[in-house]
Structure 1
Amino acid sequence: MEQYQTWILEKLQELTAIDSPTGFTGRVTDYLVEEYQKMGYEPVRTYKGGILIDLGGTEKEAVLTASHVDTLGAVTAEIKENGRLKLSPVGALCASTLETENCRIYTRFGEVYEGTCQLVNASSHVNGEFSQTVRTYQNIEIVLDENVRSGEDVRKLGIDNGDYVCFDPVTKITKSGYIKSRFLDDKLSAAVLMGYAKFLKDTKRTPKRKVYQYFTVFEEIGHGASASVPEDVTDVISVDMGCVGEGISCTEKEVSICAKDSGGPYHYDLTTELIKTAREHEISYAVDVYPFYTSDVEATLKSGYDIRHALIGPGVYASHGYERSHINGMMNTFRLLSAYLGTEEQD
């Protein structure tokens, strides 16, 4: 399976290069449809905008693996009279992580403009309170890379309130195997799912159980997988980022198996099955409790679906900021999915 490592990394870089904050995901789902059609699948677009793929399998009780391709971002909340833009966050995007980041502003009519997020009055040689100022959405702004001096100048460009502001992912893979980028949550796991789908086609295998993949587009605001779950699904595994930090045993190199998060404990039996699979196949893993976290599958449960639920994913540090994982964590997640779902050779 190691031959899929390079392919998954390539898909990750392609995914992170596509701006897709929640509510602005059409381009990334178009990409997924095209990629899955190339592999020989028949992806279905839900009314809500997600992508559902049937990978095959013979057993009646199906399992759905879900990752989200919507990311954090912002929209223009106010065009200031000095030509700067005030932001409103999309999802839990912390203002303090945005300072000096380059961005793109997408208008509703096809124009795309570049800019930089800065503290208001950002020159430390002019602003004596620069170092002491707490960074909030009230005192950061977008400085457009256009010759604008007023709100009227900005509006003439076609920029309006509600236009999406998308920040550079700055994706980098180091020689030591670390993966650094914004939006590894959850495009890293989305690339892992793509790798599993390719593995099935390349090896002419089908899962022993019927398997669906579901790419959701509203996870960052809490209702990504609340709809469109096929009727034959009895288990849903959210494949999202695993937490790394103080009090957490996982590092960037393991696949994290979540026992409990802010929404409560995950299904005991399904979680135990995943742990046993990792142990039996000598996959490096960690079991953790996430103190401030919710996943797609909790939205599924709250919508009334009668399912077992679990959460796994590669360890990711500095979540909702400039995030870091490792190729080992990525591949351990790939191996756990492949081992748990099982495959059969086709005739």
Structure 2
Amino acid sequence: MTLPIADTAIDADYLKQQLGRLLGIASPTGYTDEIVWEVCRELDRLGYAYELTRRGAIRAHTKGGSPNSARAVVAHLDTLGAQVKRIKQNGRLEVVPIGHWSARFAEGARCTVFGEACAWRGTILPLKASGHTFNEEVDTQPVGWRHVELRIDAHVEDAEAVRALGVDIGDIVAIDPQPEFLDNGYIVSRHLDDKAGVAVMLAAMEAAARARLKPDVDVFWLFTIAEEVGSGASSVLVPDVASMVTIDNGTTAPGQNSSEFGVTIAMADQTGPFDWHLTRKLVRLAREHGVPFQKDVFRYYRSDSASALESGADIRTALLTFGIDASHGYERIHMNALTSLARLVLLYAASPVEIERDLKPMAGVEGFTHQNQAASPAQE
């Protein structure tokens, strides 16, 4: 497949700059307004038309030759975090997680507590934090959210003093990302899931704008704000979208085929297989244009694709990932995966429609797809 945009280079410096900027903005699920503003400012700079849902999910638009059988690319702006569950009489805060992550990675985390009109710095600590006091109990105490507490960096000795600061039950806690960009291409930080995916999408959009991409069909670039709690892309799609590619992390761990290099194309996650035709189209694009890739299947994973399907969208979905080590903890990725992924996203946006029947949401059997049923001669 020859595409006019195939040789358009991804600006790696731009991608890295955007990732650094995004990591500097606190955006746990439920506290995403400011990162929405930041992305909208960047879309304005790139010249993209866009609109927002009531709560702030963003739908940007590249106009194509036809609005029918449109395609979408999606990444999420929200991250993991925590929320104040209880103010203890000793002035410490009990917290519960926003999203699914282990308290093991919360222990020792620097953070900010956002009240209605204030922000206070603090640290999440195990209940028994001092070896000089608790000796070996520091190592033998259980791990879990009931076994940590948040210490505010202010003079508070009781619950009343905490409330006097403006801190209350339900306040949002943002965990410091602590990013490091290393000279060898590695990036270590919290919240690379999915701010790295957002940076990838912005880099693909920057390249598309620079190349003045004129796709065959409309392309919608979606930025969701509640993926970490499961609702993600459930309310930002338009009816004309026929296929959607999600950008998110792919776990590099024993038993997984993901890699911190190249693109990891997910064939299935815990919600089931991704669309047979769309995933194989992405594989073909990667092969034909020399984008390094591998395939993987994820057992304990769901993404914006799942929320779109569960909301009733009749669309083809796929998942493209950057390999990430220690997901939902102190995460590590490599620039090679991010630039490879941005290239493949750009190629997908520019690629022609292959299933003409998808131009209509409902149609007869004529033009419906086929899947191979016959064994090859060597297998018979």
TM-score normalised by L of structure 1? 0.96
Mapped to 2, the partners of 1:299 and 1:134 lie a distance apart of 34
* Residue 92 of structure 2 corresponds to residue 71 of structure 1: no
Residue type of the partner of 1:80? K
Query: Structure 2: how far apart are the matches of 1:254 and 1:38?
Result: 29
Structure 1 residue 304: deviation in Å?
A: 1.1
Unaligned runs of 5+ in 1: none
Instruction: Give 1:30's match in structure 2, choosing from 9, 29, 37.
Output: 37
The offset of 1:341, in angstroms, is 2.0
Match for 2:20: what amino acid? Q
Aligned to 1:273: 281
User: Secondary structure in 1 aligned to 2:56?
Assistant: coil
Q: Do the aligned residues in 1 keep the contact of 2:84 with 2:95 (CA within 8 Å)?
A: yes
Alignment-derived partner of residue 94 in structure 1? 102
Structure with bigger gyration radius: 2
2: CA distance between counterparts of 1:227 and 1:257? 25
- Aligned-partner Cα distance in 2 for 1:314–1:2: 18
- Aligned mates of 1:271, 1:238 — CA distance in 2: 11
Percent identity over the alignment?
34
Mean CA deviation greater in 274-283 or 207-216: 207-216
Find 1:215's aligned residue among 223, 241, 245: 223
Instruction: After superposing the two structures, state which structure 1 stretch, 68-77 or 249-258, moved more.
Output: 249-258
Paired letter, 1:10: Q
Match of 1:185 in 2: 193
Map of 1:168-247 to 2, 5 A cutoff? 168-247=176-255
Which amino acid is the alignment partner of residue 288 of structure 2? E
- The partner residue of 1:160 within 156, 160, 168 is 168
SS of residue paired to 1:12: helix
Map 1:1-347 onto structure 2 (within 5 A): 1-2=8-9, 4-59=11-66, 60-109=68-117, 111-128=118-135, 129-342=137-350
Contact 1:46 1:228 (8 Å CA) reproduced: yes
Unaligned runs of 5+ in 2: 1-7, 353-380
Larger CA deviation: 259-268 vs 199-208: 199-208
Q: 2: CA distance between counterparts of 1:78 and 1:48?
A: 27
SS at match of 2:187: strand
RMSD over aligned CA atoms reads 1.3
Aligned counterparts of 2:243 and 2:304: Cα–Cα separation in 1: 13
| CA deviation after TM superposition for structure 1 residue 139, in Å | 1.4
Matched to 2:183, the amino acid is: K
CA distance in 2, matches of 1:173, 1:74: 25
**Distance in 2 of aligned mates of 1:62 and 1:175:** 39
Which letter maps to 2:297?
V
CA distance in 1, matches of 2:290, 2:45: 33
Separation in structure 2 between the aligned mates of residue 343 and residue 152 of structure 1, nearest angstrom:
61
| Mapped partners of 1:207, 1:190: distance in 2 | 21
Counterparts in 2 of 1:63 and 1:22: CA distance versus 1, 3 Å: same
Q: Distance in 1 between matches of 2:288 and 2:255?
A: 26
**Matched position secondary structure for 1:95:** coil
Q: Is the 8 A contact 2:245 2:320 kept in 1?
A: yes
* Shift of residue 3, structure 1, vs aligned partner: 5.5
1:55 partner amino acid: T
Taking the aligned partners of 2:102 and 2:149, their CA distance within structure 1 comes to 13
CA contact (8 A) 1:250 1:285 kept: no
Deviation at 1:2, TM superposition (A): 4.8
- Paired letter, 2:205: A
CA drift of 1:204 comes to 2.3
Cα distance between partner residues in 2 of 1:38 and 1:92: 34
State how far apart, in whole Å, the 2-side matches of 1:339 and 1:25 are: 30
Name the aligned partner's letter for residue 34 of structure 2: R
**Which amino acid in 2 is paired with 1:8?**
L
Q: Which amino acid aligns with 1:327?
A: M
SS of the aligned residue for 2:60 comes to strand
**Structure 2 residue identity aligned to 1:175:** D
For residues 330 and 49 of structure 2, what CA distance do their matches in structure 1 show? 34
Q: CA–CA distance in 2 between the matches of 1:113 and 1:322?
A: 23
The number of residue pairs the alignment matches comes to: 343
